[in-house]
A and B are shown apart, each in its own frame.
Chain A
Amino acid sequence: MLFLLMYLFIDLDASKIEGSQATAKQAAELLRSVISQQRLPQTHQATALISAVRAVGEKLIAANPVELAVGNIVRRVLHIIREEDLSLATAAIDGLELSAVSDDEDDVERDDYPVLSAAAVAAAARSTLRPPSLQTLLEDTPISAAIPHTSSSGGDSEGKSRSVDKSSRGRKLKHDVIEAVNELIQDISTCYEQIAEQAVEHIHQNEVILTLGSSKTVLEFLCAAKEKKRSFKVFVAEGAPRYQGHLLAKELAARGLQTTVITDSAVFAMISRVNMVIVGAHAVMANGGVIAPVGLNMVALAAQRHAVPFVVLAGSHKLCPLYPHNPEVLLNELRSPSELLDFGEFSDCMDSASGGSLHVVNPTFDYVPPKLVSLFITDTGGHNPSYMYRLIADYYSADDLVVKRRPATTS
């Protein structure tokens, strides 16, 4: 397992894994193996799981902070653990009630029933995760120490049943969590198909579509519309300095779509004849802003000027619960200048005595503010940028926004 970790760190660090989908899948699989190998204590399994996942997740995020999909997956897994734990607790409460009812068939003990269930509920509630109270946050007392001893009523039989419940609950928790993580991996793998299914609703006959660079989501989207016998034309902007647009254009032409490759500088000239702009994203932030390949802010501004809808396709693993602050600098990566300039050409003029200084800027990402985006199409459907923050509540818990572990206190 340690080897797996190491390889993933190295790959993330060197940005060798291309694409958020592959990164997200690998991260999810790694966390699944972490969970399955984690030995859980008798009580407070969820807390143990969470701290284990947090430890690994912190390192994963630190390896490549710009790759937001990793942080998203870590937070998703944490949320899954909390949810499974909560659902098991409520099931356990119901189970205890049921067992109480089945045991006490006599009406005589019915007046004890409410006391039993209340105590059982209290005990069950205490052993599940609690949102951190101010006291626990400040003192960092592990929640396990705060549990009082078993309630007075009930006695041994209850204690035995509870312990049996807890161990079975522990195994069940792991099992449920791993099942849910498997579902998550499945969702990540099939996000292309689910997004592509919506293509026919948005592309009509004889449309002209503009895109920049290359994105697998966009490719699948356009090909799905082509399958349904819509005929349309595509303008692909190159996407310097990586020129992924060439790849996409080749793919589209091979599949039978009329494609024209244009330079990035010609985007404003051509956009007056375009019906829709469809692009992929690197990450979607909580305010609806998009971290996209460089050049897309220019395209979005041109689309706004010509009232052309700007549609962003993103799988739900790209939705990040953080709000962007100064994203051009903090969430950006500057690549090597050799992609733009040949060093040999400029070395001689820079060496001369009166030569000035030369600074080459080659950013990877661009930030597109939410007011320029018309629509997000995710695997859960189409959404407005102003709605994206609600989806965060579905996928993430508020406690997990900061994945860093708090330093252990001396107490």
Chain B
Amino acid sequence: MSSILFLQSVVGLIVVLYPANGNSAVAESGKAALAKSKNQSSLKKDGPPVTSEVTIDKKSGNRPPEKERKKDAPPQRMQFDDQNRVGKAKRRALVNQTEAKNRVELFRHLPQYDHGSQLPNLESKLFQLDSVHPAVFKVGLRYMAGDISGVNARCTEMLRALQEAIIDYSTPPEKVLIRELTAKISSYISFINECRPLSISMGNAIRFVKRRIAKLPLSHTDVEAKTALCSDIDRFINEKIIIADKVIVGHASTKVRDGDVLLTYGLSCVVEMILLSAHDVGKKFRVVVVDSRPKLESQALLNRLIAKGLSCTYTHINAVSYIMHEVTKVFLGASAVLSNGTVLSRVGTACIAMVAHAFSVPVLICCEAFKFHERVLLDSICCNEIGDPGALATVPGRMDINYLENWTNEENLQLLNLMYDVTPSDYVSVIVTDHGMIPPTSVPVIVREYGQEHYLI
């Protein structure tokens, strides 16, 4: 951890030293040379579909936006069992990843990397990756280290980094701002994707940025364009995340009554805000906090709730059937909500929703509208993220549980650390968003009606 702090301070220094306006000629020419090499590399990078909607959108970025609607089929995503594509992507990759040993067969289509060597590898490249803006590098580093988790935080950090990159950007001579900037942004996004695969709803934020860039009038100078973009990003963060959270809290607090026993799982910032605001208003309720391995992230939530004075019960996910008979409502967060009404969220959410359904307890999903996506998923296997398998082998704080110490030596043994799972729509009672409280069947309606228009402000 201290090494990360050191690196962050070094990166911060570089940001300060990096010339903001590129007024001096030397800096300008230097940057032009850099920009040219960046352009070539980024153009090459856009060839194979390393990241999905990123590249397709780039190709259509110059076409008028009405044609976007005709592109109904979902774009190609990187399938990691296709050897040619994987080879090409590796040659262009900025971050060297080593394949994990003992990969799980069922998940050959997803990246399974050796997590032990990733972070030191990236840290060693600090001064070598010229094509990546320092702020973006910093965000990628924090993603890989696991500092930031949760879609809201990740999205906000990424957008802020893009803002800084846009401020520091300057168009090389005889190039069009729109095309260059879009290419730059795509290269940054692919770097961040290599550090940690993007979550589905972050694609929405990226698509927003690209559309704003595409809609910039050509008559704008660099400075005007950059200020417009930065204010757009600020507005996105404000409206879609910060204010949306307040609206959600307002809606959901009406559902908390005196004497309720509320169950929550994982670490969702929206649910935490709901619980704290209901407590502040003076409602009397109990909270059951359910946790699971290997992240044990609910302990942080538990800490904060107890510090504020709520009475809590803590248990692990296996005991959910034991505790569910006294629970009145279940509040869960989401990473994304898909068009067939299914909810993509932290692994274990589907189990909780299923047991709640079996005991006839209503399940409320709290998520902002920017997390709605037009993709559809039926199970948790086709699209997921594989975490560090070594995290399963050890149990922190329990020295006696060391049966799996040498698991890499066993050729028949694999460890699987899934990050997400998909909750079917019939387990969800209502989704609380900033548009109001909607049933899961209304999700494609919101995606269709509000998705395009809000982005085309």
Contacts and interface: CB of A to CB of B under 8 A. Distances in A.
B351 A265 contact: yes
Contact of A356 (B309, B401, B421): B309
A340 B316 contact: yes
A301 B410 contact: no
Contacts of B416: 260-262, 266, 270
A356 B310 contact: yes
B308 interface: yes
A356 B284 CA distance: 12
Contacts of A362: 315-316, 319
A260 B105 CA distance: 10
Contacts of A407: none
Contact of A261 (B325, B351, B404, B422): B404
A342 B23 CA distance: 57
A185 B315 CA distance: 39
Contact of A358 (B308, B312, B412, B414): B312
Interface in A211-247: 238-241, 243, 246-247
B370 to A, nearest CB: 25
B347 A269 contact: yes
B380 A269 contact: yes
Interface string A353-381: 01111111111001100000000000000
A361 B319 contact: yes
Counting contact residues on chain A (CB < 8 A from B), the size range is 35 or more
A261 B322 contact: no
Contacts of A360: 313-315
Contact of A366 (B293, B322, B407): B322
Interface string B307-350: 11111111111111111010000000000000000000011101
A270 B309 CA distance: 38
Interface stretch (B45-53, B66-74, B146-154, B390-398): B390-398
Contacts of B355: 297-298, 301
B417 interface: yes
A372 B358 CA distance: 12
A265 B292 contact: yes
Nearest to B102: A260
A297 B321 contact: yes
A253 interface: yes
Contacts of A256: 412
B404 A294 contact: no
A263 interface: yes
B299 interface: yes
Nearest to A350: B306
The 10 residue pairs across chains A and B that have the minimum distance between CB atoms: A265-B348, A295-B318, A269-B380, A253-B413, A297-B321, A268-B350, A246-B403, A269-B421, A265-B292, A253-B412
11 contacts: A240-B318, A246-B401, A259-B412, A261-B407, A268-B350, A328-B321, A345-B299, A359-B312, A359-B313, A361-B323, A367-B321
